Amino acid sequence: MNRKFSQKAQILILFLSVLSSPTFADPWHKHFDKPWKKHKHHKKEVHIVHHYEPHRLPDSAVMLAIAGVTYALIDGHYYKKEKHKYIIVEKPPKSRYRLGQMVKKLPEGATAVNKRGQQYFVSRGNWFLAVSNGKYVVVEP
């Protein structure tokens, strides 16, 4: 009987030592390292695009005209139209004029500019077009 007991005790000790080895400890732990899989620990990666081609603007882009300059607002960032692309810029200055706003008098220092056969008036980046009754409308260049 002692012999059977000692065999059972040896098997039990062997079994317990195998189960207590580190390879079997907490096998369902989700954050163990896998060299083929990088875990970001639930942090969202932020990627800021510094320029866009006009035909590649995302659908979420909101087009704005501020002080006569065209901007695209994308994910809280302002992109100013320059030649053939939109470049990221700081928040544009606020304009006292809105696109389509009618004004009775041009601001001081407004200069006449001919563009595509049409006469415009420009003052501090704001573009004006003469309409009837001596009034002007704020337009995009």
Tens-place pLDDT, residues 94-109: 667 888 889 999 988 8
Closest CA to 112 of 102, 125, 122, 97: 122
Closest CA to 86 of 105, 69, 68, 102: 69
pLDDT tens for each residue of 2-34:
666 678 888 878 777 766 666 555 555 555 556
